[in-house]
Amino acid sequence: QKEVEQNSGPLSVPEGAIASLNCTYSDRGSQSFFWYRQYSGKSPELIMFIYSNGDKEDGRFTAQLNKASQYVSLLIRDSQPSDSATYLCALSYGGATNKLIFGTGTLLAVQP
């Protein structure tokens, strides 16, 4: 079982709708969770991070974490065509290195 699992998509939503991206993880020792956005041919860019159960909101983005069920999600409200990208879920175990373990990413396509 992979440490971080994501549906590769594509997830297609109409402009203005809510896009819901999901991620599950296998190791309960995971401490922090991150969502990165990656446009085609570009490097990943951090959108949100969360480490406590519940919701965390930042503008049009809401990250949700449920450690008991081992899933983390990202909601994008009022989706725009410019949100079309691959969204990477990542986790960290903390510690000295604090390296990130990434999922394969979900391709989001927002239709105008």
Partner 1 sequence: DTGVSQDPRHKITKRGQNVTFRCDPISEHNRLYWYRQTLGQGPEFLTYFQNEAQLEKSRLLSDRFSAERPKGSFSTLEIQRTEQGDSAMYLCASSSRLPGQSINEKLFFGSGTQLSVL
Residues that bind partner 1 (CB under 8 A): 4, 8, 31-32, 42-46, 49, 51, 88, 90, 92, 94, 96-105
Residue 82 three-state SS: helix
Residue 3 C-beta: closest distance to partner 1, Å: 10
Q: Which C-beta is closer to partner 1: that of 13 or that of 103?
A: 103
Residue 43 three-state SS: coil
Q: Are strands 11-14 and 106-111 parallel, antiparallel or unpaired?
A: parallel
Residue 92 C-beta: closest distance to partner 1, Å: 7
Tokens for 25?
């993880």
